[in-house]
Amino acid sequence: MSTRSRATNPGSVQDVNRPLHLLVVMDPIQAIDPAKDSSFAMLLEAQKRGWSSHYAELGDLWLRDGTAWGRVTEVRVQDDAQDWFELGASADARLGDFDVILMRKDPPFDAEYVFATYILERAESAGALVVNRAQSLRDANEKAFVAWFPEVAAPTLIARSQSVLKAFVREHERAVIKPLDRMGGRSVFVTGVEDPNLNVLLDTMTDLGTRYALAQRYLPAIRDEGDARILLIDGDPVPTALVRHPPPDDHRGNISVGAKTVCRPRTDAEQRVCEAVGPVLREKGLLFVGIDVIGDWLTEINVTSPTGIRELARDGACDVAARLLDAVEARVTGAQPSRQIEN
């Protein structure tokens, strides 16, 4: 990749007649798959709007005497699978001087991630719009947050006790067991009362009863109906669901493990879930969220780095990146979004 040099000069949010100054905190940009990466889609849209875009990784952030700082690097992007970015000049900058900070670091949601949210919270206090809100990233664990919506969520248990977990599996006959801090279908297992490996699976997932794990009733609808990802912007769902169908030899509906995707309008059941979840997301400052629905039931609420933007755009179903940045501009400038989210 080539490197270009330009001046780094984030501005203040009061001047709304200029292009916005954007910082994206993400995983190493050289390691992403630009054909699938939603953060890359956001950078493309920001560049189209003339925004000043900068890039940083988690290790580039620090907090000094209550002020959030970062070693930020100018970045330009192009929709080219072989040469998708150019890095420019790097400089130390106060994070509060940016108009917008997109926190797009992938899980694991570990202590390092939590510490980074404290730094971003100080940037919020200094005037930056952080998407998603730093405190809400801590509050809304992607696996556990479904417990706040029991009326629309699949039966869910979070426990360390193996006896409690086994009782849940017996009650539902088949269950999905997964960790609370991973993504992409990693360490997600389907088990049942007849599984001879159930005890050792629970030993492993709870680290012999010292770590919490999540158990959820297995929803067979995933085979016929797939796992629907619905993206919400400021609590409002985009009109199209991205349905992921697991490979024949796998139970997981994750694109990263080979799930096939189909775009379609939301179902009535999915709309019911969105209506239950959306107002809470808006209240918590969770501006960009991806919920997962299997059949009639909510299974996850993804708040750290939801994906699906590129797939929806390729299908011609919805330009989510444009809708999201409309909402971001509205938050920063106080104007109404130029695109209305369709229900």
Active site residue 229: yes
The verdict on whether 166 is a catalytic residue reads: no
Contact 296, 302 (CB under 8 A): no
Q: Pick the catalytic residue from 104, 217, 229, 310.
A: 229
260 is a catalytic site residue: no
Measured CA to CA in angstroms, residue 94 lies from 12, 87, 91 at distances of 11, 19, 10
- 272 is annotated as an active-site residue: no
Helices (H) and strands (E) in the chain, counts: 9, 17
- Nearest to residue 168, comparing CAs of 155, 181, 179? 155
> Which residues lie across from 175 on neighbouring strands?
191, 217
Question: Which 3 state secondary structure label does DSSP give 267?
Answer: coil
Q: How far is CA 207 from CA 28, 160, 179, 210, 213, in A?
A: 30, 9, 11, 5, 9
- 249 classed as catalytic: no
Left if phi > 0, otherwise alpha if psi is -120 to 50, otherwise beta: which for 155?
Answer: beta
**Residues making up the chain, counted from first to last:** 343
Per the residue annotation, which of 124, 292, 326, 329 is the catalytic one?
A: 292
Q: What's the number of CA atoms in the CB half-sphere (13 Å) around residue 20?
A: 25
Which residue in the list 104, 122, 133, 252 is annotated as catalytic?
252
Pick the catalytic residue from 300, 311, 326, 329.
300
Check: CB of residue 54 under 8 Å from CB of residue 71: no
Integer Cα distance of 63 and 56 in angstroms: 15
Q: Which two tokens stand for residue 13?
A: 């949010």
143 among known catalytic residues = yes
Q: Which residue among 105, 166, 244, 323 is the active-site one?
A: 244
Choosing from 105, 122, 133, 178, the catalytic residue is 178
User: Which residue has tokens 């930056």?
Assistant: 128
Catalytic residue among 122, 143, 310, 323: 143
254 catalytically annotated:
no
Half-sphere exposure of 191 (CA within 13 A, CB side): 25
Catalytic residue among 236, 302, 326, 329: 302
Neighbours of 158 (CB within 10 A): 17
Residue 48 bears catalytic tag: no
What residues are annotated to the active site?
143, 178, 229, 244, 252, 292, 300, 302
